[in-house]
Structure 1
Amino acid sequence: MESQSGDPGSPESYFKPPVFFGAIGLIALLIAFAVFDTHEAEARFGAVQSFATHNFGWLFVLTVDILLVCCGYFAFTRAGTLRLGGPRARPKYSVLSWFAMLFSAGMGIGLLFYGVAEPVMHFSNPPSSAFSNPDAVLPRGLAGNAQHAMGLTFLHWGLHAWAIYAIIGLALAYAAYNRKLPLSIGAFVKDAFPHMPHALVNLIDILAITATVCGVAASLGLGASQINAGLNLLMGAPDTGLAKAITIAVVTGLATLSVALGLDAGIRRLSEVNMALAVTLAAFVFILGPTVFLLDGFVQNIGYYFQRFIYLSTWTETYSPGDWRSNWTIFYYAWWISWSPFVGIFIARISYGRTIREFIGGVLLVPSLFTFAWMTIFGDSALHIEMFGAGGLSSAVNASMPDALFAFLSHYPLSQIASGLAVIIVATFFVTSADSGALVTAMIASGGHSNAGLAHRVTWAVAIGALAGALLWSGGLNALQTAAIVTGLPFSIVLLLMAIGLIRMVAHELRKRDEAELERMEREAAEATTAAAEAAAIAQAE
């Protein structure tokens, strides 16, 4: 039950003690376990990750595929004509600002971390079982491996990832703007399934907060590792756990300042800045790199992705048991799902006035195309160096993934300046993810109200930074992966329930619209009949 302390419009009146204390308690226990029993935590994290990925990988794959199909339903049926906020609603943010905010919140740090590392890793260590035709497996290092590396990268970062964000964001936006509910996952589930016990609704909000904090913490851990790698290259900063902890502390402080400024003054402007910087870095690589090779690769990569779309979308490594899918595809899907409460609520909040079709197109297609372009520019440029240039990137990436981007930029002129720009971009994406995550978790803990108090927002910003530092301390990247997978697993069920609930809500509104239209037509027909009868009576009288 919500606390009734404070005035009706005050942040205190929105405070939900069961949700806040339940979530903060779980996160505090995880931090304590990671910090005070590091060796045991590392072992347990590995065991839990192995259990989840090997026994429930099929659930992650099926969930993400179903959500993508749901996006198609909303985009290509008359449901797409409905407008978030009603027929007269109009967007608050320009298209450019909207894209910048949703993209920065959705994938910023990951693109910098994996843009070079992932294609090179798949190229040098290809999963042969993922080829649809075993006879097509080529020796490592040839064109087949390079093409397949880009196809797998597109699978992980393309339509499937954004479908998760699109469905949860659309569900929350529709419930908030069309059904006048709080911008809350618990409120949506309670409205869609009225007989669900209130305690279970609170549990879903606790799970949403925990998933958000763990998902964002995983990203911040990756960002801290990459910032530290860049500072080591540029300034000789030590590559130690303490140095990464200091990086997390400094950037978390900046995120706290940004979240205190609010959505328009802080997050929106910072999102636009880091998008501009990211585009600048991409343009630098595109112009000074193998430009024609990249243009050819972009077209061919998209063709390859769609040619093998169905197969790779349903590939579960059933007949060639191994750990590749668990370490890559399942981790990504779990990571996106654990991010989804945060990204979904954030996208919903900035999407008032969009039609459902415009929302799906904007959230699903535009970021996917930008991601494909980014991965082609950095991934194919790295593969070009490996296949036709000086080489050496495969060994560098396999030795240290955080160093991958900087090892790649060392092959370009002005590499020190480019590396410095990359560090700044990672830091700004870091801040954007942390402050957006803090804002959203504060909203969930306050029942979906956007004006949760400053103290709540600061609390969650600190909690995210503390968890990222603790996980890096206890188990490095493996611990970060485990946090995302474990929280993403139960939340996949919540996402499926939300998809079902959204379809039912939209179908109900369409039926009401049809009934209203039918009543209007019947009324107009009756009025026309009456007018004709009156006209006939007048004519007869004359």
Structure 2
Amino acid sequence: MKKSKERVSFNNSVFKISAIIVTLFALWGVISPGGLAKNASAVASYINHSFGWFYLASVAGFVAFCLFLAFSKYGSIKLGQEHEKPEFSFFAWISMLFAAGFGAGIVFWGVAEPLTHFANPPLSGIEPKSAEAARVAMNYSFFNWGFHQWSVFTIVGLALAYFQFRKKSKLLVSETLGEVSKKRISSKLKTSINILAVIATVTGVATSLGMGVLQINAGLNYVFSFPNNPWMQVGIVGVMFILYTLSAITGVDKGIKILSNTNMFLVIGFMLFFLFKGPTVFILESFVLAVGDYLHNFVQMSFYLTPYSGDKWVHDWTIFYWAWVITWSPFVGSFVARISRGRTIREFVIGVLIIPPVIAFMWMAIFGGTGLYMDLFQNTALSEAVSKDVATAIFVFLQQFPLYGILSLLMLVLIMIFLVTSADSTIYVLGIMTSDGNENPSNAVKAIWGVLIAAITAVLIISSGLEGLQSVALIAALPFTVIMILISISLFKSMYSEQKAEKQDHVNITTQRKAQ
């Protein structure tokens, strides 16, 4: 029986076509890295410039829709049968959400982003490296890592969880669109949608892993004088491949959960250490002020564009972020859905939309806030170091503290665990996507995706094609934004119909009792 299931997994169209497309992209990167980067970058730049307004409006709408679901009558709907309880503890659930959704990005940008905005303010008329620049830098760092980003994951994850656990559908993106139209979606269109989700996931994670590997190598070079070259980076990919494949094969309730919990303990440990070792009062004050600024400017920042001045900052940062997380949403949404059975919609939205961003705010305030304090009051020139090499920013920051070597080693471990948890969650989800929604994909399928992701990451590092693949990932965000809007419509229509049917059943039962 097991062999039969594996044979079906290998023979389905989504697996074969998406694997071929991903392999061809990798080969293009090897044969003509410049050609891939040039063509993909041109298309991605056009989309970013021409459809930035569409990304901003759509993601703002996703935030509003999530809040509506959480605090409306639909919030009490359980993702599963009424008697079902959550499979994972709250801490384990949040740990897995955080690790899968942020990956190593929060470590990479925790110091670098506030200091980058500090040196190059997002708003015109603000003097670089001034107190006002620091305030705006923290405000926009919160915004870029806040509720908008997680609303995208919430929409996709909630729809997948609702239709699978409530309506007994498969854990596939195409299955969330059944309520959009009365006409049945053709199998070819479903296959195309699922292939797009797979390609977006692979290109997104391969690029992120590549950048994470570059950061690990930069840290090893900066702290321990290891060589910084492509072959060293390929070796890091190899170590990472072994770790994430073993973790994914052992399953969600073992490998992925254990790594995610370890990851969260390290995150909490780092935050507590630097909160009390750094300028504690300054960190707390900057956190409170940034939260206030974030909430006060929430609507304005949500729709901020610069058609009159022609400034490109919002396109380079906010719109880039929104497109990037939309590209990641099939993976994160699928993983979040898989681990959220038994929770109510209200629990789901609050847990996914609110809690991970709040943890990110604390990380940004502690690390970014301390970095700003050092530049403002201690003249450490961290912002200059960041502008020279973003990848080493966190290690330059750590150098300002005692136990520098130990802290750097632990930070490298944290980055590696972040990368491994992102990768193992990804190959698990890719296994589901390419096994016709089977919630327990075969180890063979997961291993193949593990090999493909490692190979693509290594090839692109050697051929310097990361920029090209990143652009390819961003191109996939545009059609997937349209799909997300349709998913939202389908989800609402299905919940509305369910509530209406339950209300009618209640009326019928009451009428029958009265008749008796």
CA distance in 2, matches of 1:91, 1:29: 41
Whether the 8 Å contact between 1:171 and 1:499 is mirrored in structure 2 is yes
Deviation per residue, 1:356-414 (Å, 9 max, x gap) = 11110111111111111111111111111111113211111111111010011111111
Identity value in percent: 38
CA distance in 2, matches of 1:321, 1:16: 50
Whether the 8 Å contact between 2:122 and 2:137 is mirrored in structure 1 is no
- The yes-or-no answer on 1:114 pairing with 2:109 is yes
Q: 2:79 aligned to 78, 84, 104, which one?
A: 84
Written as runs of structure 1 = structure 2, the 5 A alignment for 1:503-522 is 503-522=492-511
> Which residue number corresponds to residue 174 of structure 1?
162
- The yes-or-no answer on 1:157 pairing with 2:152 is no
Written as runs of structure 1 = structure 2, the 5 A alignment for 1:458-537 is 458-475=447-464, 478-479=467-468, 481-527=470-516
Which has more radius of gyration? Answer: 1
Q: What's the TM-score, normalizing by structure 2? A: 0.96
CA drift of 1:191 comes to: 5.8
Whether the 8 Å contact between 1:170 and 1:356 is mirrored in structure 2 is yes
Residue 269 of structure 1 aligns with an amino acid whose one-letter code is I
> Which residue number corresponds to residue 306 of structure 2?
317
CA distance in 1, matches of 2:448, 2:49: 35
Q: Against the structure 1 CA distance between its residues 351 and 396, is the aligned structure 2 distance closer, same or farther, given a 3 Å change threshold?
A: same
Whether the 8 Å contact between 1:183 and 1:345 is mirrored in structure 2 is yes
> Which residue number corresponds to residue 97 of structure 2?
102
CA drift of 1:338 comes to: 1.1
CA distance in 1, matches of 2:376, 2:324: 31
Q: Against the structure 1 CA distance between its residues 470 and 125, is the aligned structure 2 distance closer, same or farther, given a 3 Å change threshold?
A: farther
> Which residue number corresponds to residue 378 of structure 1?
367
Q: Against the structure 1 CA distance between its residues 471 and 482, is the aligned structure 2 distance closer, same or farther, given a 3 Å change threshold?
A: farther
Q: Against the structure 1 CA distance between its residues 477 and 408, is the aligned structure 2 distance closer, same or farther, given a 3 Å change threshold?
A: farther
Whether the 8 Å contact between 1:34 and 1:473 is mirrored in structure 2 is no
- Structure 1: which 5+ runs fail to align? 1-5, 130-136, 528-542
CA distance in 1, matches of 2:105, 2:408: 17
Residue 79 of structure 1 aligns with an amino acid whose one-letter code is Y
> Which residue number corresponds to residue 444 of structure 1?
433
Structure 1 stretch 482-491 or stretch 404-413: which is displaced more? 482-491
> Which residue number corresponds to residue 244 of structure 1?
233
CA drift of 1:223 comes to: 1.1
* Structure 2 residue matching 1:406: 3-state secondary structure: helix
Written as runs of structure 1 = structure 2, the 5 A alignment for 1:327-366 is 327-366=316-355
CA drift of 1:480 comes to: 5.1
- The yes-or-no answer on 1:418 pairing with 2:407 is yes
* Structure 2 residue matching 1:10: 3-state secondary structure: helix
> Which residue number corresponds to residue 188 of structure 1?
176
Deviation per residue, 1:198-244 (Å, 9 max, x gap) = 11110000000001111111221221111111111232112222222
> Which residue number corresponds to residue 128 of structure 2?
140
CA drift of 1:29 comes to: 1.2
CA distance in 2, matches of 1:265, 1:160: 31
Whether the 8 Å contact between 1:169 and 1:343 is mirrored in structure 2 is yes
Q: Against the structure 1 CA distance between its residues 128 and 191, is the aligned structure 2 distance closer, same or farther, given a 3 Å change threshold?
A: closer
Deviation per residue, 1:99-120 (Å, 9 max, x gap) = 0111111103110000001110
Whether the 8 Å contact between 1:41 and 1:474 is mirrored in structure 2 is no
CA distance in 2, matches of 1:40, 1:329: 27
CA distance in 2, matches of 1:7, 1:37: 41
Q: What's the TM-score, normalizing by structure 1? A: 0.92
Structure 1 stretch 95-104 or stretch 48-57: which is displaced more? 48-57
Residue 147 of structure 1 aligns with an amino acid whose one-letter code is R
> Which residue number corresponds to residue 52 of structure 2?
57
Q: 2:279 aligned to 283, 290, 304, which one?
A: 290
> Which residue number corresponds to residue 41 of structure 1?
36
Q: Which runs of 4+ in 1 moved over 6 A?
A: 6-9
CA drift of 1:326 comes to: 2.2
